[in-house]
Each structure stands twice: as structure tokens, then as C-alpha cells.
Amino acid sequence: MENKKILVIGGTGMLGKPVAQQLKAEGFNVRLLARNPDKAQKLLGDGYEIVKGDVDNVAALRTALTGVDGVHISLKGGPSEADFDRMDHLATRDIAQTAKELGVGRVTILSAYAVSEEKADTPESSSKLKGEAALKSSGVPYTIFRASWFMESLPMFVQGKSMSLIGDQIHALHWIAVEDYARMVSKSYQTGETLNKELYIFGPEAYTMGDAMKIYADYTGVKVSPISTKMLSIMGALTFNTEWKSTAVLMKHYENWGEDGSPDEANRLLGVPKITLKEWCEKKE
């Protein structure tokens, strides 16, 4: 890892920051692209090179990508259809094309397990699929991480003392801790065996969303409150809340699609995720 430099795009976010930290802890030089460098430095601390800019600026991308060995993409679009396309499709396309032009060794990207031609039934999943296609066609070596639900997403369903279980979430999901995921991303930069692969990143145990929320609720003292996707969509329309409407569409998507990939290859190449949901909850207490 000596002298290897990795650019993390989205490195101040909930799922990008731990990747940047893990890469640094394992000896990589880490560069971040950030709209607000001062804020990024306060969030991550010293020891990171920070380039000012964002993914809409190709010139800033070129500066950030110059001289790096790899780039990890951890972007979140939405809630509008246009913003999903901007972040999950167009930004990925521009990063991949620029990386290819500059001879960057690899691009890694966080995607989701329910992204395919069959499952492109929402603005988010469609945009992610287009972004993946652009990455593959760019010619730059890539690794796509098809992650299941992150444990870190559970607090996002909490408002006050209530935790919203949105929709009829019947599928058992292998919840993954971002700590395990970050370790796997860092490991991927230490082997050529992960190049040009789509790897399913699943945690050690499977729970339906309702069961996972019950476990989290037991540790935090919140109450799980079911709400249908239709009701959330209506509430969003009545209150002009685009985030609620977008969430209703997202959760309807996950009502339809469960996990269908295998984590065996990822686990063999990158190590088996070990943090259980209960262990994660205990750390968060």
C-alpha cells in the first residue's frame, strides 16, 4: 500500500467516511473530493488530502483523479428523479470516463443488491443501472459492491420515540455493518482478484426489516410503528414532502425484491463479515 493513493468520492457521507478511514488505517494515502474542504477536514481529521469541488464539475474531477491509483464512489442521489440521474448515473459516467483517460488503475463503487434490468422499476434503481453500465463500458477496471441493507440505516427510520416500518417488508436481509464493509473495500485494493467483478456484500445474519427494527428498538427504547407505502405516499403528496414520496417508492421497490445474489465470492476474496446486528446495537448504546 506504500505510496498508493485512493480518491474517495462521497468520503464525508455515512457510508463513505468509514471507507476513507479504513483505507488510511491500512496505509493508503487518501484523497477526498469535497465541496467544503474545511468541513471535510473537521469531520475526518488530519492526514487526508482534500480537493475542493463536486461531481458536477468535470475540471474538478480531473484534478482530483490526477495521480491516484484508484477511486471509490459512494454517492447518494435523490429524492427527485433528476437528482438520482445526476448522481447515480451521470456522475458515475463522468468519473469512470475521466479515470480511464487518466490511467487510474481501478474504480470501486457502492451499489445495491436489487439493481438489474429486471429490477429497474424506480428512478434510483434505473439510475444506478445506467451508472453501472457506463462504468463497465468505460474500459476502466472496476469492482461493484452490491451491498444489502446497512445497519447504520436503522436510525434513519426513527422520529422521536417512534420507528417507522414502511410497507410489507417480507424479505430476509443480511444486514451489514459499515465497519465490515469498509474493511472489505480496503481489502479489494490489495488484490487483483476483485477486478471487473460484481460482489455481493451480505452480513452474517438474515432478518426481515421488521425483525431487525425490533432488535434495534429493544436497545434504544423506541416503538416500531407500521405504515403502508401507499399511506406514506399520500402523506408526502398532501404535505409536498418529496422525501416522503421518494421513500415510499423506495420501500415499495424493496417489498418486491429480496436478495438473490451469493456473497461467497466476496467473502472468499475479502473476508467474511462478522459483526452481528445485536453486537452493532450494543456498540451504539
In the prediction, which pLDDT does 129 show? 96
Domain-embedded: residue 57: yes
Mean pLDDT of the chain: 96
Residue 1: pLDDT over 70: no
Residue 2: pLDDT over 70: no
Q: Pick the residue with more confidence: 48 or 240?
A: 48
**Rounded to an integer, what distance in angstroms lies between the CA atom of residue 180 and that of residue 194?**
17
In the prediction, which pLDDT does 95 show? 98
Domain-embedded: residue 64: yes
pLDDT digits (tens, 9 = 90+) for 3-18: 899 999 999 999 999 9
CATH number at 49 reads: 3.40.50.720
- pLDDT bin (cut points 50, 70, 90) of residue 150 is very high
Q: Report which residue type is found at 16.
A: G
**Rounded to an integer, what distance in angstroms lies between the CA atom of residue 175 and that of residue 65?**
32
- The percent of the chain in helix, strand and coil, each rounded to the nearest 5, is 50, 20, 35
Q: Report which residue type is found at 64.
A: A
C-alpha torsion angle, residues 150, 12, 184, 79 (rounded to 10): 40
In the prediction, which pLDDT does 285 show? 63
Domain-embedded: residue 143: yes
- pLDDT bin (cut points 50, 70, 90) of residue 30 is very high
Domain-embedded: residue 249: no
Domain-embedded: residue 195: yes
Domain-embedded: residue 121: yes
Give the predicted TM-score (pTM) of the model: 0.95
pLDDT digits (tens, 9 = 90+) for 170-198: 999 999 999 999 999 999 999 999 999 99
Give the mean pLDDT of 192-209.
Answer: 98
In the prediction, which pLDDT does 273 show? 98
DSSP for 29-82 reads EEEEEES-HHHHHHHH-SS-EEEE--TT-HHHHHHHHTT-SEEEE-----SSHH
What is the CB neighbour count within 10 angstroms for residue 148? 23
Angle ∠(69,45,51) on CA atoms, nearest 5: 45
**Rounded to an integer, what distance in angstroms lies between the CA atom of residue 80 and that of residue 278?**
34
pLDDT digits (tens, 9 = 90+) for 224-250: 999 999 999 999 999 989 989 999 998
Which residue range(s) make up the domain with 68?
5-148+176-202+260-273
Cis before 79? omega within 30: yes
Domain-embedded: residue 90: yes
How do strand 142-147 and strand 106-112 relate by DSSP bridges?
A: parallel
Give the mean pLDDT of 111-129.
Answer: 93
Q: Count of domains in the chain?
A: 1
Residue 51: pLDDT over 90: yes
pLDDT digits (tens, 9 = 90+) for 71-119: 999 999 999 999 999 999 999 999 999 999 999 999 999 999 999 999 9
Domain-embedded: residue 154: no
In the prediction, which pLDDT does 284 show? 79
